[in-house]
Structure 1
Amino acid sequence: MEQIAELIASPAAWVALVTLIVMEVVLGIDNLIFISILSNKLPEAQRQKARTIGISLALVMRLALLTMIAWIVGLVAPVFDLGLVGPLGAHGEPAFETQFSWRDLILIAGGLFLVWKATKEIHHSVDTHQSDDLLDKKHVASINFTAAIVQILLLDIVFSIDSILTAVGMTEHVEIMYVAVVVAVTVMLVAATPLANFINGNPTVVMLALGFLLMIGMVLIAEGFGAHIPKGYIYTAMAFSAGVEILNIWSRRAREKKAAAVNASPPGEH
């Protein structure tokens, strides 16, 4: 209790908490986009339940990992070395790491899964050909509830490990990590349905979100191989792309309203 009281009275602790909450919310965007896209593949009656379970699993996963801080930190220790001599960088260092930790392997596996999933969904979105005999069974991308939860759980593990390792690197106080994780996941829970509805209601946003997942997957793979890409670049690019798409949506809706008004007016007023 004394330690908690000291943290409450410490301005540095509050700064660390706010910074970590913002960081956890930003890191949770990746997780949230995946959950939104996957839940939209389900029947409408099951979507809210899938999102709630998926985000709840993310919270449980993060809190469980926080109780195993020593094990989490140990995930960055090398477990094997390929011993390959690859191309050298500008300063004579290897262009990519040959030592791999469990964290690296998890990031690579998660990245490959995201690339596969995003590519598959993009294919289904682009390939709209349907035969007369199989109208809506073979070419329509759909999944059952259990498959959706399993896929969400797999990505929750990847994003949770990345999230907790980030938290460990920003503060040494586990109490601050707990509060930041709970607040960040609560924000995800509140934003999940509006985001999913927005993505579902705008077909072009679906393709943009799948592009985000493809990029995130490649970033995870690159980080697994030791290429440390500043997350600020990634999220700035995502924010810029989202901003352009929002302008396109506003422009399209304005044209639709204008066309509707013209069609509704008497013929002599055209």
Structure 2
Amino acid sequence: MDDLLPFISLVLLSAGLGIDNGLLIEFSIKTLNLSPKRHAVWRSVALVCAAILRIFFLLILSKLSFLEDPLPDSFWFPNRWFSEHPDDLTWMNLILFAGGLIIIFMALWEFYHKFREELAGHLLPSKNGTSTEIGKVLGVIAYLICMNILFSVDSVFAAVAMMSIETQFWWMISAILLAAFIMVFGMIPISAIIARNKHFGVLMLSVLIVIATKLLIDGTGAHFSNGLLMFIIAMLLINDAAQACIDWADKKGERLSATA
């Protein structure tokens, strides 16, 4: 019982943190325009790789102990500019802050490309060729590796805070693998919703901005709870669903008026 309760809590926490990572993976792979079957396969592979990366970080956690060391007192660390207690910041805070900036940049970049595609009616000139496709794939892989490292470090430290790495190591690994299994199948309905609704892509960008905001706040040493993050994401989803219902009712009303 002493192991079971922390195990269940860690599974739920890892799955909750995995939603952030899952959305990043879903959105990144979607830019490759793969077939639905290949998209699902590569999404699952990416989620499993993220779990393996977490386990790898558990194995070398002692080598990452410097992340908890104090951040040097330097003007060139931007997270210190916004922190109420800059002397309490660690290297881990700097990594989280940098990750938030990266996610915001990628979200805005993807919105820019989506806007151009819609504005030009998908007729924008593009470079064709195998090298371009390979470069795009490699770019997505590099981005996912960086983000997986970021979220893995965060999840691993959360796991260590809940369980003992010396006495409960295999419980921690089991929790990470079970959470990955939940996310592999949990992303299926999320992906289906994104595919059916074009406007949902913009909503996903908003979700990424919220995730980035959490990382930025955590990076300054302040606290942004995962519960609050899930609540905000849920409210965004509910708002988008309500707007979709209103749009559907409006279109149906126009059709009924036209046939009357």
Task: Note closer, same or farther for the CA distance 1:255–1:185 as it changes in structure 2 (3 Å cut).
Answer: same
- Contact 2:70–2:87 (Cα < 8 Å) also in 1: no
Q: Which moved more, 1:15-24 or 1:117-126?
A: 117-126
- Contact 2:103–2:208 (Cα < 8 Å) also in 1: yes
Residue of structure 2 aligned with 1:71, choices 20, 44, 63: 63
Residue of structure 2 aligned with 1:26, choices 9, 16, 20: 16
**Higher share in helix:** 2
Matched, 1:190 2:180: no
1:86-142 CA-partner distances (Å, limit 9, x unpaired):
xxxxxxxx71424543312221221111010011122233344339xx923359xx9
Q: Percent identity?
A: 23
1:121-170 CA-partner distances (Å, limit 9, x unpaired):
22233344339xx923359xx97222212211110000111111111111
Q: Which amino acid aligns with 2:231?
A: T
Gaps of 5+ in 2: 77-82, 128-132
The 5 Å alignment of 1:231-250 reads: 231-250=226-245
Could you tell me how far apart the structure 1 residues matched to 2:45 and 2:169 are?
25
Report what 2:80 is aligned to.
none
Report what 1:129 is aligned to.
119
* TM-score, normalization by structure 1: 0.78
Q: CA RMSD in A?
A: 2.8
**How many residue pairs end up in the alignment?**
242
What's the offset of the Cα at 1:23? 0.8
1:65-95 CA-partner distances (Å, limit 9, x unpaired):
11123334442122522289xxxxxxxxx71
1:204-224 CA-partner distances (Å, limit 9, x unpaired):
221111111112112212212
Report what 1:150 is aligned to.
142
Report what 1:112 is aligned to.
101
Report what 1:91 is aligned to.
none
Gaps of 5+ in 1: 1-10, 85-93
* TM-score, normalization by structure 2: 0.81
Q: Which amino acid aligns with 1:102?
A: W
SS in 1 for 2:68: coil
1:32-77 CA-partner distances (Å, limit 9, x unpaired):
1111111111122342343133212201110101112333444212
Which protein has the larger Cα radius of gyration, Structure 1 or Structure 2?
1
Q: Which amino acid aligns with 2:90?
A: S
SS in 2 for 1:151: helix
Report what 1:102 is aligned to.
91
SS in 2 for 1:144: helix
Q: Which amino acid aligns with 2:52?
A: V
SS in 1 for 2:119: coil
Q: For CA contacts below 8 A with separation 6 or more, give which structure has more relative contact order.
A: 2
